[in-house]
Structure 1
Amino acid sequence: MNQRDPFTDFQRLSTEADNLAHDLAGFRQELNRVLEQNAELIIENKHLRGRLNELAPSTETEPKPAMLPSRRNLEKLYDSGYHICNMMYGARRENNEPCAFCTNIIYGNNRSHQKK
């Protein structure tokens, strides 16, 4: 019967622990890099959205076409940040990003009056 050598087992476990610690340190560095990049992108995105809002022509001055009351209600819900399309109805729109399905429901084929 082969008897295991405790010292050999200890060396093997020690080597595996060292390798694991090295891998963990590398993972920590990569995670920090990704988190920093994410923070930079969030800030850049915020600045770009602000700049887009500055450059976008104001839709407030354009006259809106006459809409049925039901569509105006849907538009209010959509403007409040909620989906009104059948795919995501009632879900919050992430960062108030536009949804093509919702805007199609509100404005139909008349996209010239669509909010930006």
Structure 2
Amino acid sequence: MSQQDPFTDFQRLATEADQLARDLTAFRQELNRVLEQNAELIIENKHLRGRLDQLSEQNEQSDKPEMLPSRRNLEKLYDAGYHICNMMYGARRENNEPCAFCTNIIYGNGDRTSRQA
């Protein structure tokens, strides 16, 4: 700064400060717009991932052979943690361990000869 004209120096600094304030305001507005857009994209991404999971689950179910309603009910009981085989029927499965007899009843080939005794 020159010592000869302090008023001119003051005017120049005031003009620069005003410009800086305008630039900061514009930057704040742009930052808010970007943050809002980011929040919207996060929400949209969450919804799309949920829909993708639904579609993949439907595809997995459609890949399975069609089950009779009675077998679906047995599958629900088995998934809830209970035995459905005739040896342990109704007993709770320890730590949800798989049971070969139960899974054979649900997913077996459906012939009655393997279950008749």
**TM tier, smaller:** 0.3 to 0.5
TM-score by length of 1: 0.47
> Could you say which structure has the greater relative contact order, defined with CA pairs below 8 angstroms and 6 or more residues apart?
1
TM-score by length of 2: 0.47
Question: Quick check: which one's helix share is greater?
Answer: 2
